Amino acid sequence: MLLVNHIRDNFEAVLAGLNKRNFPNAESLLNQVIQLDDQRKSSQTQRDQIQAESNAISKQIGMLMKEGKRDEAEKAKARTAEIKVQIKELDDENSRAEEDLKALLYTIPNIPHTSVPSGKSAEDNEVVLEHGKIPNLYDGKQPHWELIKKYDIIDFDLGVKITGAGFPVYKGKGARLQRALINFFLDEALKADFMEVQPPILVNEDSGYGTGQLPDKEGQMYHATADNLYLIPTAEVPITNLYRDVIVSEDQLPIKNVGYTPCFRREAGSWGAHVRGLNRLHQFDKVEIVQITHPDKSYEALEDMRSYVQGLLQKLELPYRVLRLCGGDMGFTSALTYDMEVYSAAQERWLEVSSVSNFETYQTNRLKLRFKGEDKKTQLAHSLNGSALALPRIVAAILENNQTEEGIKMPKVLHSYLGFEMI
């Protein structure tokens, strides 16, 4: 959530940032924010003034009673009763203005970092680098949705029977590959000084608003309405919310957490060949890394996280590229996002497997996540997160890129986790 004072002090820069996102009615919404804030401040000023009057009258009443001026004291009491009514009305007005202001700020996305390129869609994203050699497969190469049937390792039909489309069943070596990747990703994160946490996979409404999934992604989340709880779309939500309404000391920064969870996304409207098989699921496994940092160190942390994810892809021997997302393709809460994509040699296209983002103060303002320095003053921290990694498309790329006529070779780094070298 944007800071109102930042909007006031940097109106043109904020407007330019929203225009870079192609955000509609930006200037009108920013003006509404300032108007509502003016209204809130005005009602608060009036309240403070009449409260001061009430305090002064209360002191006079006792003196008037001592002096025997009962009639004047009664008039003063009547005035304090009137003031109480006025204060109640101003409190209600102030609360309405604050709620209207918060609701409006929830609809405005984060401001892109200056390095974010302009653009309207994924076609305008900037390729930062490419790494690795694209494999040259044999003539009978198959996409992963055919390979999983051939080797009987993932069953989509069983998932449909049990739940519905987009909920696969992993079997035999397919299940072991899932477990191997999760353990490998967690072990690598621990080596990089992330602390492992195992959070709940259902969150309350406050948590959804805290990290920005609500109200922006409400239609994409599974909602358990009886208890008003949401199935998490990513471990970012519960892990970052560990620090909601928390003040940490500056020497605790950076805070680095990693967690594995299943993730749930409705993905309404998703269809077509580009989402076939493992390319897009309603339930999938993911290891997430989260950092809480000092504002001066957050972009350094973002580059470190990007390098860390690249290291995972290199160890898995997958060709990949890094994209800096343009303004029109960025997530609602992000100030700067890098996407990591692996090349699928059978599908002959790039598949996104990780996003690493810096949210600056956008999430921490919602969360009231602050830190206190040596000067004892509190300020908002910065929050970052990244997929390290999401499993479905990693599995798809491993299966497709390593297929041979004899079977599918597993990356060497996974051999000790799997207990086998080939499917």
Which residues line the annotated binding site for ATP?
A: 265-267, 352-355
Instruction: Give binding residues as ranges.
Output: 234, 265-267, 288, 352-355, 385
Instruction: Give binding residues for L-serine as ranges.
Output: 234, 265, 288, 385
> Which residue's entry shows tokens 């401001």?
111
Sign of CA dihedral 147, 153, 155, 159: negative
Fill in the DSSP letter of residue 26: H
The token pair that represents 134 in the structure block = 């694209």
Rounded CA-CA distance 338/212 in Å is 18
Rounded CA-CA distance 85/98 in Å is 20
Peptide bond just before 411 cis, omega within 30 deg: no
For residue 326, which of 150, 111, 112, 95 has the smallest C-alpha distance? 112
> Which residue's entry shows tokens 């996003």?
355
> Which residue's entry shows tokens 């006529």?
405
Fill in the DSSP letter of residue 220: G
HEC string of 79-119 equals: HHHHHHHHHHHHHHHHHHHHHHHHHHHHCCCCCCCCCCCCC
For residue 244, which of 207, 197, 214, 294 has the smallest C-alpha distance? 207
